[in-house]
Amino acid sequence: MRINLTKKDLVNLVYMQIGFSKLISENLIDEFFSLIVNNLLNEKKIKISKFGTFTIREKKRRIGRNPKTKEEKEISKRNVVLFKPSKEFRYFINANKDE
């Protein structure tokens, strides 16, 4: 079962835990995400301490193939976002497993 965390959920968490109004909480979340996106676009890398590093990597154009029809099609070059978790984050994820 997959549970998605939405922007509305984040706004409600800030509203409930910090006590800001919902409008201020929503603006805070919007500013946080825009800060991450803008820094990624400008610097190509953003590191969040004890969480991980986001980087942009350019993928070259290549030929792809439809598995059903075997039709070949060119896949254009594009940028992709990569995430590498920090050691603390990996430790936290693996320490909570029941053995």
Q: Give the global pTM.
A: 0.71
Give the C-alpha separation, 48 to 99, whole Å.
30
CA distances to 36, 53, 54, 77, 84 from 49, rounded to whole Å, are 13, 8, 11, 31, 12
Instruction: State the pLDDT at residue 2.
Output: 66
Q: Is residue 1 very low, low, confident or very high in pLDDT (cuts 50, 70, 90)?
A: low
* Tens digits of residue pLDDT in 53-86: 999 999 999 999 989 998 999 999 999 999 999 9
Instruction: State the pLDDT at residue 93.
Output: 87
Q: Is residue 95 very low, low, confident or very high in pLDDT (cuts 50, 70, 90)?
A: confident
